[in-house]
Amino acid sequence: MSCIEGKNLSKSYGSTKAVDNIALSVKSGQVFGFLGPNGAGKSTTIKLLTTLISPSEGSLTILGIDAVKHPLAVRHKIGVVLQQPSYEPTLTVEKSLEKYGMMWNVPKNECKKRMEILLQDFDLADIRKKRNEDLSIGQRRRVQVAREFMHDMELLFLDEPTVGLDPSARRKLLDFLKNKVKTGLTIFYTTHNLSEAEYLCDEIAIIDKGRILTVDSPDALKKRFGKEKTIKIHLLEKQPIVVSLLSRIPECVVDLDNGTTITIHSEQSELVLLQVLKILSENKIELEDLSAVPTNLEEIFLKVVRDNASHN
Amino acid sequence: MHPIIRLVNRNLTISINPGFLIWQVIFPLIYIFVAGFAYTSLIQQVPFGSKSLDYPSFLASGMIGFNIMNSTLVSGIIIWNDRRHGMFEQIMSGPFTRAHYILSNIATIGIVGLVSASLIALVGYPVFFESVEFSFITVPVIVFAAITGSVLFGSIASIISTRLRSSEGFNVIINTVFLFFAFVSTAFYPAEGAPEPLRTLFYLNPLTYLVDIIRAGIFGNITEFVIVEMMVLASLASVLFVVATKLLTRLDF
Ligand SMILES: Nc1ncnc2c1ncn2[C@@H]1O[C@H](COP(=O)(O)OP(=O)(O)O)[C@@H](O)[C@H]1O
Ligand SMILES: [Mg+2]
């Protein structure tokens, strides 16, 4: 069954198209990753899907409900952790969990039970009596995510939930989410961190400038773009002319990162490499170091976004 | 439980703390007992309609209105904090509508306002009991004043909190506005003795109307003028409530 069905969704703020005519189809029981650089339109998409804002155009069905016509019915069935922190400054950690459960109409005993479990799962037991305003950013973020599990839901939206968490808390959260998915939860997960998406997501959509560039599983993405290799060349000294020399080589994209480092992406890396060496020696440009590595997901992401930018 | 009741529960949990209780209960009591009696040597009698009141009774009855006004700050602060700490968006993405949110705030102010007013009335009672003239309309008049006053000042606090962005601005403006309301009103001194243009200024201030109505209810002096004041207070409260609701509905994310 499909959990989220969006067609021709757009949201404009004045002349900015924050979300530009996207189509979305998310299957139940999976983690759907929404990946994009800052300002790509991830948070705006989440606000659309969670009915916080209504689309300028398009149709949206969440869990079989028309989200534009019946937003409240949708909100009853979903959980939302927005990118922005949200907390009651003067409440203690345990009180904020309990009150949040109360707001969702969870019976008092059940609230207490869930709270104890979540305090353990999110490593909050030591700080349960601390007030939210006295917590660190990472602790507050953990409370915010934990709090959402006080109530039942079919679909959970998480907007960059791991920002501010240390690596071990990050890993714990991802594993916690994986377990929840096994029990039938569907998660819509935005991030700009690829390794996270690769670890957690069953499907990944890459978004930039309000448009979805591609949707696929992490493995398929690697297969599709995996033939490509990244060649890195370090020069001994700055040679600004080198880019224009190298850009004559067909079938590759050349970047001069900072005066002395050149990155080349190509699917024909062997051929390109030979030509690079030839051009460099013809022009008496000395190398310090050279390497060719298979492109990782991070690079694929950058490539997809970059290609999109150069098309415009 | 109804969503509005759940939100009121939350509102009361986050707003009732020791600081608030001191501000809301202890401060007015100290004021009534210390200032009320300290000024008695200067102000023996305050003319009030056909009778005259001693200053402590006059002040204690004024403090009820003052307290209702102060209690509505709660609502402004809740809205302000909810916006600043992301709870407004969080609540709006949960099982609530904007109408639930707005009504729960009104209910919260109403409760806090009524409880504060009753507390001051109860504790102030020994101070003004000699002059009290209970009638069948005393309690309804006070309840009317408490609710209308809460809606009115609550709307003002809400309007301010939806319009502002920086927190310094919020505190400075809220304090200035409420200080003006408090001291340029008949809560602490009668309009009769005040020189022009202060007297006119008194009647440009909704707290004056609120306090006049409460005093009229307690001391049994509902004149035609007081009835006009009730109508003015109710109309102003309705207009401000509509404006506050509109602004809250338009707040975007
Ligand atoms: N409320 C708003 N008003 C005006 N512009 C906005 C608003 N929200 C987002 N935008 C713009 O929309 C674009 C997408 O923003 P956002 O969805 O927050 O991106 P992301 O979450 O991917 O970083 C940005 O250019 C941002 O400036
Ligand atoms: Mg974002």
User: How does pLDDT run along chain B (253 residues), one tens digit per residue?
Assistant: 899 999 999 999 998 878 777 777 787 888 888 877 777 777 778 877 777 888 888 888 888 888 888 888 777 788 888 988 999 999 999 999 988 998 898 888 888 888 888 888 787 777 777 777 777 888 888 889 988 998 899 889 888 888 887 767 777 888 888 888 888 898 888 887 778 888 888 888 999 999 999 988 888 878 888 899 999 999 999 999 999 888 888 887 7
Supply φ then ψ for residue A198, to 5 degrees: -65, -40
Closest-approach residue (CA) in chain A for B8: A103
> Which ligand minimizes its atom distance to the CA of A84?
2
Report the distance separating Cα B32 and Cα A33, nearest Å: 62
Query: CB neighbours of B47 closer than 8 A, spacing ≥ 6?
Result: B190, B192
Q: For an interface test with B, which of A92, A96, A103 has the most B Cβ atoms less than 10 Å from its Cβ?
A: A103
Tell me the average pLDDT of chain A. 89
Q: For an interface test with A, which of B21, B90, B167, B253 has the most A Cβ atoms less than 10 Å from its Cβ?
A: B90
> What is the residue range of B113's domain?
3-250
Q: Which of A44, A50, A160 to mutate to test the pocket of ligand 1 (most atoms within 8 A of CB)?
A: A44
In this prediction, residues A261-267 reach a mean pLDDT of 80
> Which ligand minimizes its atom distance to the CA of A38?
1
By the CB < 8 Å criterion, does B92 face chain A? yes
Select the more confidently predicted residue: A140 or A247. Answer: A140
Angle at A29 between CA B96 and CA A218, to 5 degrees: 115
Q: Whose CA is nearest to atom 26 of ligand 1?
A: A39
Query: CB neighbours of B4 closer than 8 A, spacing ≥ 6?
Result: B100, B103, B104, B107
Distance A18 CA to ligand 1 centre (A): 6
Residue A10 Cβ contacting ligand 1 at under 6 Å: no
In this prediction, residues A236-253 reach a mean pLDDT of 78
DSSP string computed for A104-143: TT--HHHHHHHHHHHHHHTT-GGGTTSBGGGS-HHHHHHH
By the CB < 8 Å criterion, does B235 face chain A? no
Closest-approach residue (CA) in chain B for A105: B1
Question: Between chains, do A102 and B97 touch, taking CB under 8 Å as contact?
Answer: no
Question: Between chains, do B85 and A75 touch, taking CB under 8 Å as contact?
Answer: no
Are the beta carbons of A227 and A267 closer than 8 angstroms? yes
Q: What pLDDT does residue A8 have?
A: 94
Domains contained in chain B, number: 1
> Which pairing describes strands A2-13 and A57-62: parallel, antiparallel, or unpaired?
antiparallel
Question: Other C-beta atoms within 10 Å of B118: how many?
Answer: 15
Are the beta carbons of A108 and A102 closer than 8 angstroms? yes
pLDDT digits (tens, 9 = 90+) for A280-293: 888 888 888 888 77
Distance A210 CA to ligand 2 centre (A): 12
In this prediction, residues A128-137 reach a mean pLDDT of 95
Which one, of B194, B204, B195, B233, lies nearest residue B217 by Cα?
Answer: B233
Per-residue pLDDT at A297 exceeds 70: no
Residue A238 Cβ contacting ligand 1 at under 6 Å: no
Are the beta carbons of A97 and A119 closer than 8 angstroms? yes
Binned at pLDDT 50, 70 and 90, residue A312 comes out as: low
**Sequence-distant contacts of B190-197: CB under 8 A, at least 24 apart:** B190/B46, B190/B47, B190/B48, B190/B58, B192/B47
Q: For an interface test with A, which of B17, B78, B85, B101 has the most A Cβ atoms less than 10 Å from its Cβ?
A: B85
Q: What pLDDT does residue B253 have?
A: 74
Report the distance separating Cα A37 and Cα A49, nearest Å: 19
Q: What pLDDT does residue B97 have?
A: 92
Select the more confidently predicted residue: A138 or B68. Answer: A138
Q: What pLDDT does residue A311 have?
A: 67
* Strands, sheet with A78-81, edge to edge from the N-terminal-most edge strand: A78-81, A155-159, A186-191, A31-35, A203-208, A211-216
Question: Other C-beta atoms within 10 Å of A234: how many?
Answer: 13
Are the beta carbons of A99 and B90 closer than 8 angstroms? no
The answer to whether the complex's ipTM is over 0.85 is: no
Are the beta carbons of A17 and B218 closer than 8 angstroms? no
Which atom from ligand 1 is nearest to the alpha carbon of A38? 23
In this prediction, residues A7-31 reach a mean pLDDT of 94
Min mean pLDDT across A138-147, A211-220, B70-79 is at B70-79
pTM for the model stands at 0.81
Binned at pLDDT 50, 70 and 90, residue A32 comes out as: very high
Distance A5 CA to ligand 1 centre (A): 22
